[in-house]
Amino acid sequence: MLAGRTYAEIVDQFSWNIPAYYNVGVDVCDKWAGEKDRLALIYLASDGKEQRYTFGDLKTQSNRLANALRAHGIEKGDRVGILLPQCPETLLSHIAIYKLGGIALPLLTLFGSLAIEYRLANSSAKAVITDSANFAKVLEIIERLPALQLILVVDSDGQPGVKDFWQCVRKGRSDFQPVRTRADDPALIIYTSGTTGPPKGTLHAHRILLGILPGFEFYHNLFPQKGDLVWTPLDWAYIGGSYDTLFPTLHHGYPVLAYRAQKFDPDEAFFLMAKYGVRNMMAVPTVLRLMMHAVQNPKEKHDLHLRSITAGGETLGAELYQWSRRALGVELNEQYGQTECDYVIGFCSEVMDVVPGAIGKAVPGHQVDIITADGDIAKAGELGEIAVRCPDPVMFLGYWGDPQATRKKFSGEWMRTGDYGVKDENGYFWFTGRQDDLIESGGYRIGPGEVEDCLMKHAAVKLVGVIGVPDDIRGEIVKAYIVLKKGFEPDTVLQESIQLHVKSQLEAHAYPREVEFIRQMPMTKTGKILKHELRKMHTKKTHSNGET
């Protein structure tokens, strides 16, 4: 736990303690299971039914699942996809896979079949755990996944060719000896979108959780404090929901609230936070903006007990800071990191001043700086690239099956983030822009290249260029400029067909909320689409419509 009364004291007193052998599943579950009634999870199903799990419950059921997976041929190093929403089965799957020495592969339920297929195929996943709502996506692609040998389905209803999740759990033995994994052994692959080419599988070791802990404690104002209870609306397949929230909380032996909602409802969120006494919240700015616009004075309507809120993934803006202070009585702690190296910059309002516009200071334990193109440390106020010094416990092992991309991520002793900014004389970092064209919408990092590849599979699309454009709620939204094939005419029906194509085939959050049909695509002589010209076109159109 972080110790000290000031930021300087915490940094000075901090030291890493990374053991040679370490297993995430044992850490977040088994070490607390001896305390019979220690609460780990409060789960609310979509029908409002409540389930409570102690750490002892998690240990018993994850042991049974680990035995079942082993009985079906899953061993150390095997990749197992988890295509489930925020629910107990997701948590049990993670814990069982880690105890088994396997590698968990979280998959967003928003993914369409093409996105799922790429990730399962690229990782050569041997098994996938899903539910009846998402099984159809797997069934659609199963013939193109030769490595896939096992499918576990929650509530399978006797479907042929699959195993029922809970039947397997009930049949498994309750005792299991976890594999003795090293801290550097692989545990997790999270695919991150890029601007060109397909997504890259970010491979992490078991130590990722230990590396994230200082940032988690920092952003939540020196977590844990007596009575803390954590909730995030983020999907647990998203690193912000799992390793930034769920697992650090369980590491400390504190409970997490989870509920399965078809669509985020700000009023329901405030109600549940008050009902269960949520003290710590992790969100993305889009969620906070939805809550801000939906309920003007939430403390007058709900008995809230919030102690800390942390948010990241996109710019917060002064309005959110002011609203949180006024309406919630909580200072927002902004955070910064990447899937490759998360939770390395941010704020802890308990020990430092929050400066709106800045993204914080280096989290204790991490050496972060601004470097020049030559790899030198930039002077205070000098523009450069945000970089993290190696080695670092939270840093990824590499991109799955892509050593060339891994090498490009590093420069000497620095891991380059691709994000640019400055560090002022007081040690605060200020973000100025991205090196690439990643679109950050509602907290999701969307690679335009993947969206373009999906759109090119639509029967009407001849050429497509995808960019991110500003949006008041989501920060950015996806916009597609499309040249149609002969025989197709632009209209509302075609636009909706194109949007639905991306929703169903790729990812629901990645579909183009704006579609503009154009006759000619701006391109270089070598055929490369000029994205800056598309941005100019959008800006010109926006201004001509009288918008700012």
Q: Helix/strand/coil (H, E, C) string of 177-206? A: CCCCCECCCEEEEEEECCCCCCCEEEEEEC
Q: What are phi and psi of 485, to 5 degrees?
A: -75, 160
ω into 224 cis (within 30 of 0) = yes
Instruction: Give the burial class of 423: count Cβ atoms within 10 A of its Cβ; 0-12 exposed, 13-18 middle, 19 or more buried.
Output: buried
Q: H-type helices in 277-376, by residue range? A: 285-294, 298-301, 318-323
d(CA 80, CA 530): 39
C-beta separation of 89 from 52 below 8 A: no
d(CA 285, CA 442): 7
DSSP three-state, residue 159: coil
Do 19-25+54-206 and 439-542 come out as alike in CATH topology? no
User: Tokens representing 303?
Assistant: 């008995």
> Read out DSSP for 6-49?
SHHHHHHH------SB--HHHHHTGGGTTSTT-EEEEEE-TTS-
pLDDT at position 265 is 92
d(CA 252, CA 274): 23
Q: Which CATH number is 19-25+54-206 given? A: 3.40.50.12780
Exposure class string for 283-300: b at 16+ Cβ within 10 A, else e: bbbbbbbbbbeebeebee
Over the chain (548 residues), what is each successive 10-residue block's mean pLDDT?
Answer: 90 96 98 95 92 98 98 98 97 98 96 95 98 94 97 84 92 97 98 77 98 98 97 94 97 95 89 97 90 90 96 81 94 95 97 92 98 93 94 98 96 93 95 76 81 90 92 93 95 96 90 96 73 89 66
Helix (H) or strand (E) holding 50: strand 50-54
| Alpha-carbon distance values, 19 to 45, 56, 184, 198 (Å) | 38, 24, 10, 35
d(CA 223, CA 242): 17
Task: Kindly give, in sequence order, each residue whose CB lies less than 8 Å from that of residue 412, ignoring residues fewer than 6 positions away.
Answer: 375
pLDDT at position 524 is 64
SS3 content of the chain, % helix, strand, coil (to 5): 30, 25, 40
d(CA 197, CA 298): 44
C-beta separation of 281 from 309 below 8 A: yes
> Read out DSSP for 229-290?
-EE--S-TTSTTTIIIIIHHHHHTT--EEEE--SS--HHHHHHHHHHHT--EEEE-HHHHHH
User: Tokens representing 221?
Assistant: 């104002």
pLDDT at position 526 is 53
C-beta separation of 177 from 166 below 8 A: no
Domain chopping of the chain, boundaries: 19-25+54-206, 439-542
User: Tokens representing 78?
Assistant: 């095997």
Q: H-type helices in 440-511, by residue range? A: 448-455, 492-505
DSSP three-state, residue 101: coil
Q: What angle do CA 140, 125, 78 make, to 5 degrees?
A: 155
Q: Are strands 341-346 and 361-362 parallel, antiparallel or unpaired?
A: antiparallel
d(CA 348, CA 220): 7
DSSP three-state, residue 419: strand
User: Tokens representing 486?
Assistant: 């002969």
User: Tokens representing 67?
Assistant: 């035995």
d(CA 193, CA 237): 14
C-beta separation of 173 from 64 below 8 A: yes
pLDDT at position 444 is 81
C-beta separation of 413 from 161 below 8 A: no
d(CA 135, CA 133): 6
d(CA 195, CA 192): 10
Place of tokens 């915490």: 10
User: Tokens representing 440?
Assistant: 């950050």
CATH architecture of 439-542: 2-Layer Sandwich (3.30)
pLDDT at position 256 is 98
Question: What is the number of residues in the chain?
Answer: 548
